[in-house]
Amino acid sequence: MSTPKVAVIMGSDSDFEIVKKCLIALEKFGIEYDVQVISAHRNPHKIFDYATTAEDRGIEVFIAAAGKAAHLPGVIAGITPLPVIGIPIQTSFQGGLDSLLSIVQMPSGVPVATVAVNGAENAGILAAQMLSIKYPEIREKMKAFKIQLNDEVIAKNEKVQEIL
């Protein structure tokens, strides 16, 4: 097994069902990952230790999923120079608006790239796009993926045209 390039952190194990979609996307592009449950609120020292040593372990991108007071992605972004992608988790408050705003409303100088509420698959794809800048093998898989998306839409259009 090679060194993980992506750290996937969730604030609670209850986020795992959503986060699995991210892991599937990373696997599609052949990207190794490390998965952890670390709460920004309940064990902040652990997230600090993990984030400050991640680069030394080969991590190049963080993906952090959190709900409600979703500070985990922002805390990580405040610690590391590496890119951070936030996944807001849906909650009972307006469909996860609290999570989304907690992640996207970051102060100047501490950006978090944020996907849609429960947008874990896109988080994995975005991480792959970031890594494709450096790794040609990921870039080739990304190109093939984009062609596949295009072909799927063309096929759907052809089906609709047949109905008309």
Confirm whether residue 14 is marked as ligand binding: no
Q: What pLDDT sits at residue 93?
A: 81
| H helices present in the chain, as ranges | 16-28, 44-53, 72-79, 97-104, 120-132, 136-163
Instruction: Tell me the pLDDT of the chain (164 aa) as tens digits.
Output: 689 999 999 999 999 999 999 999 999 999 999 999 999 999 999 999 999 999 999 999 999 999 999 999 999 999 999 999 999 999 988 999 999 999 999 999 999 999 999 999 999 999 999 999 999 999 999 999 999 999 999 999 999 999 99
Confirm whether residue 13 is marked as ligand binding: no
Rounded to 5 degrees, what are φ and ψ at 101?
Answer: -65, -35
DSSP summary character for residue 96: G
Intra-chain end-to-end CA distance of the chain, in Å: 51
Q: What pLDDT sits at residue 42?
A: 96
Confirm whether residue 15 is marked as ligand binding: yes
Rounded to 5 degrees, what are φ and ψ at 112?
Answer: -130, 120
In whole angstroms, what is the distance from residue 110 CA to residue 118 CA? 22
SS (H, E, C) 29-40: CCCCEEEEECCC
Write down all domains in the chain, each with its CATH number in brackets. Answer: 6-135 (3.40.50.1970)
Q: What pLDDT sits at residue 2?
A: 86
